[in-house]
Structure 1
Amino acid sequence: MKKQAKRALTALLAVLLLAALAACGQNGGAKPETGDTSSSGSGQSAPLRDVKVVLDWSPNTNHTGLYVAKDQGFYEAEGLNVEIMLPGSGGADAMVASGEVPFGVSYQEGVTQGRTQGVPLVSIAAVIQHNTSGFAAPVDRGIKTPKDYEGKAYGGWGSPVEEAILKSIMDGAGADVDKVKFVNMGEADYFTAVKRDIDFAWIFYAWTGIEAELRGEPLDMQYVKDYSEKLDYYTPVIVTNEKTAASDPELVKAFMRATSKGYEYAIDHPEEAADILLKAVPDLDKDLVVASQKWLSPKYRDDAARWGEQKREVWQNYSDWMYERNLIEKPLDTDSAFTNEFLPE
């Protein structure tokens, strides 16, 4: 594990914790406003409550259900005026943990790392049931198995988790992670980097993999979940903070009722949902959004009884894996990290 990357991660977590403590008592972005009104189902005007949800990254098909819930009036029907916003420089986790906004998009790894450092994030829904990420290479690199990573250049961003996952699946294949050359991709995208100085990288197939298909640049892909059940973790997830969950549960339930409807709509109507995302974010590539949405929509709920459902063993398995590899300093209190209580029945 690279010491510099580990120090950077520790510093980031400390910033998150300080932000959370500094904003103790806040519940920003979730206060009732009396100025905004809309028509209720009875035809009477009712005040809407202004609420913010912050994305983890630029808008993509992981987020479609949020945009559908806003476009189709599902939030409004719950009395909410929801603003979907991009993360600030501190990131979505810090904004939610501090109470600057009540809801955000995160991932299981971030919640796990944060909670073991005292950051009060709580996962309230799994956006996708199974991990769709993996290591991808252009087919001309001949990377068919983890053993083939030896002697190749991996492009990443310097996270200790990257090397740990590579080591984990390479160990299982009898390969040596020390024979991989690690290259920091910086601001380069996958397609630029593989033409420049790397052979493979960690991607989400629903976006980068689908884009490769559309470009006519086929990939060899090894999904990390196929090498260990402990790596079939939730990414992304929807989060809130402990204060909002404890002091305003009705807000969380209302937000999740509408959000669930948004993702269920996207499951049943992928092309229409893609159009809604494109209407909200017209700069996105239409062909990519439509193809990605068709691929991803059935994976939102997959084999779960309902969209958003989280399993304790998934949280336990991945946090155990992280602890075994010194990616977190103490075991996770699993039952405090996630809840299904705010999902509609």
Structure 2
Amino acid sequence: MKKNVLTALTAALVASALGSAGAANVPVKMQLKWFPQAQFAGFFVAQAKGFYKAEGLDVTLLPIGDQSPIQTVATGAADFGTTWITDLLTARQQGLPVVHIAQLFQKSGYTLVALKSSNLTDPKQFSGKRVGVWPSGNEYPAVALLKKYGLTTSLDSTVSNPSVQAVTYPFDPSLVFPDKVDLVSAMTYNEIDQIVGLGYSLDKLKIFNTSDYGVNLLEDLMFTTQKTLDNKNFKNSGMSGEEVAARLVRATIKGWNYAVANQKEAVQTVLINCGNTCKGSGTRASAAGHQTWQMTEVAKLYRAGQTLKGNAGLLDRATYDANVKQLMDLGILKSAPSAGAVNYKVWEMATGKKAK
């Protein structure tokens, strides 16, 4: 009898916590930064495990390819999205009212990769070289690294004789590396494994992690618009936009914590959602193998910084300030972002903790 009373009480408390969204889940469109892959494992796990549903949310995860998620969220085609911090801050500089609400990856996974036979050992040697970069705001970490070492690129139309030739390519390193570029952009969790699959084992590569050279521009954050946060009745749910955002962040963090702790299971969840982009290249063409590599590497980016302090999803203020200063010093940002660029209240609502 006591057990039944406790069960009923627990159910009542859960229903109360979910509020008006408990019965009919609120539709939420979440824009991912790329196609389905383990880079977004926490989102897929949160969906598969019912973590979103438990928060009263019916979340649709939207793939995008090589476009910027900023546009779909800013135009209202999606409610929330993931992107990189430089993309978000430069968008705000251009007048788009996008707002950072949670920081998932606590460390940058961006690298530039060269063949070891090129004898490149320091970014100072990149002058006169061809560097493969990605479009749609994904080139900024490479530009930041080059500018830090006094190098200009062909991406800057104001420079008549750039020291580095930037070669924009659509994310597949096999299209340019190593014949058309001397260095190529590669994420630790994706393109490095693809390059290995092309026949260039790790011992044949020289990998320049931008974070090792003081360019630790944060990636994979969650964001929305100020309009969504200010909405007092999100999609007639009876909840404010901030409340919906907090529930989304809370469930997503739960999904990421589970994915990192259960990586094999997380990979299987990702594979259910995968298409051809889940495969690696050449000898690493197995989707399962490539996604296993990817899950291992993204777990390192998630399990760092504030996550190790028990504050998963929190944007570290010192790291953020350092990112802003670097982007301003390099001229990528013309002025410091307003305080509204980051909303810590959503994270505090999601976790019950105080952002420090």
- Is the 1:70–1:76 Cα contact (8 Å) retained in structure 2? yes
Is residue 316 of structure 1 aligned with residue 300 of structure 2?
A: no
The one-character-per-residue Cα deviations of 1:296-317 (angstroms, maximum 9, x if unpaired) are 2132131312221102222222
**Please, what TM-score do these two structures have when normalized by structure 2?**
0.76
> In the alignment, residue 317 of structure 1 is paired with which amino acid?
A
Other-structure match for 2:157: none
The CA distance in 2 between the partners of 1:90 and 1:294, in whole Å, is 26
**Residue deviations 1:150-202 (CA, integer Å, cap 9, x gap):** 3432122477736642433434xxx8877844142433621331133111022
Alignment-mate amino acid for residue 220 of structure 2: P
**Given the alignment of the two structures, is residue 165 of structure 1 paired with residue 144 of structure 2, yes or no?**
yes
CA contact 2:55–2:247 (8 Å) conserved in 1: yes
Cα distance in 2 between the residues matched to 1:186 and 1:296: 23
Identity %: 21
1:326 aligns with 2:331: yes
Distance 2:62 2:129 in 1: 38
Comparing 201-210 with 260-269, greater Cα deviation is found at 201-210
Q: Which shifted more, 75-84 or 246-255? A: 246-255
Describe the SS at the equivalent of 1:87: coil
Listed one character per residue, the Cα deviations across residues 2-42 of structure 1 (whole Å, up to 9, x for unaligned) are xxxxxxxxxxxxxxxxxxxxxxxxxxxxxxxxxxxxxx968
**Secondary structure, counterpart of 2:222 in structure 1:** strand
Root-mean-square deviation over aligned CA pairs: 2.8
Match for residue 237 of structure 1?
A: 221
Cα offset, 1:338, TM superposition:
1.5
The residue number in structure 1 matching 2:78 is: 101
Q: CA deviation at 1:293?
A: 0.5
* Aligned equivalents of 1:113, 1:239: Cα separation in 2: 14
The CA deviation at 1:121 is: 0.7
Q: Give the match for residue 271 of structure 2.
A: 278
SS of the equivalent of 1:275 reads helix
The residue type equivalent to 2:53 in the other structure is E
SS of aligned partner of 1:105: strand
Question: CA offsets, 1:61-109, max 9 Å, x none?
Answer: 2211111111111111111111111238973112212333211011100
1:68·1:266 contact (CA, 8 Å) conserved in 2? yes
C-alpha change, 1:56 and 1:82, in structure 2 (3 Å) is same
The answer to whether the aligner puts 1:152 opposite 2:156 as a matched pair is no
How much has 1:122 moved relative to structure 2?
Answer: 0.8
| 1:338 aligned residue | 342
Cα deviation code 1:239-287 (max 9, x no counterpart): 1111222332211111111111111111111111111111111532221
Unaligned runs of 5+ in 2: 1-9, 16-21, 154-160, 232-239, 279-286
Q: How high is the TM-score relative to the length of structure 1? A: 0.78
Are 1:62 and 2:39 counterparts?
Answer: yes
* Closer, same or farther: CA 147–179 of 1 in aligned 2, 3 Å: farther
Correspondence list, 1:227-306, <5 A: 227-228=213-214, 231-247=215-231, 248=240, 249-283=242-276, 284=278, 285-304=287-306, 305=309, 306=311
